[in-house]
Amino acid sequence: MAPAIDTNEPNVRALLTKIEAGELDAGIVYRTDVMAAAGSVDEVAIPPEFNVRATYPIVALEDAPHPTEAADFVAFVLSAEGQEIMDGFGFVAP
């Protein structure tokens, strides 16, 4: 049986809002959004073989207006402290 699509929201946040309001029984959103919902929705893990992982490349641009600060930011995000912060918001390293 194919799933019935009840809504076609323009973004994940709009979909999560409908789930939080009880207008939908379920939806697929990012784990970071579930965590941001602070307990107002339940998380159901998707088995790895069916899951799609989003990737977020990070790089300091060569012609950035503040190249030193950009490089420092990238280094911080990739550091152990930066990764711990990212993990706290639901982002996990590949």
User: Contact at 8 Å (CB) between 54 and 73?
Assistant: no
Claim to verify: residue 39 and residue 18 sit in the same structural domain: yes
- Give the span between the Cα atoms of 11 and 72, in whole angstroms: 31
Q: Which of 22, 20, 27 is nearest to 6 (CA)?
A: 27
* pTM of the predicted protein model: 0.68
Distances (CA, A) of 30 to 19, 21, 46: 13, 18, 11
Provide the number of structural domains found in the chain. Answer: 2
pLDDT at 65 > cutoff 90 = yes
User: Contact at 8 Å (CB) between 14 and 7?
Assistant: no
Six-digit token pair at 39? 């307990």
Identify the pLDDT of residue 55. 86
Claim to verify: residue 37 and residue 60 sit in the same structural domain: no
Claim to verify: residue 35 and residue 66 sit in the same structural domain: no
Claim to verify: residue 30 and residue 9 sit in the same structural domain: yes
pLDDT at 94 > cutoff 80 = no
Q: What is the tens place of the pLDDT at every residue in 36-61?
A: 888 899 999 899 899 888 888 999 99
Query: Domain residues for 80?
Result: 55-94
Claim to verify: residue 26 and residue 65 sit in the same structural domain: no
Claim to verify: residue 59 and residue 85 sit in the same structural domain: yes
Task: Indicate the pLDDT class of residue 1, thresholds 50, 70 and 90.
Answer: confident
Claim to verify: residue 50 and residue 64 sit in the same structural domain: no
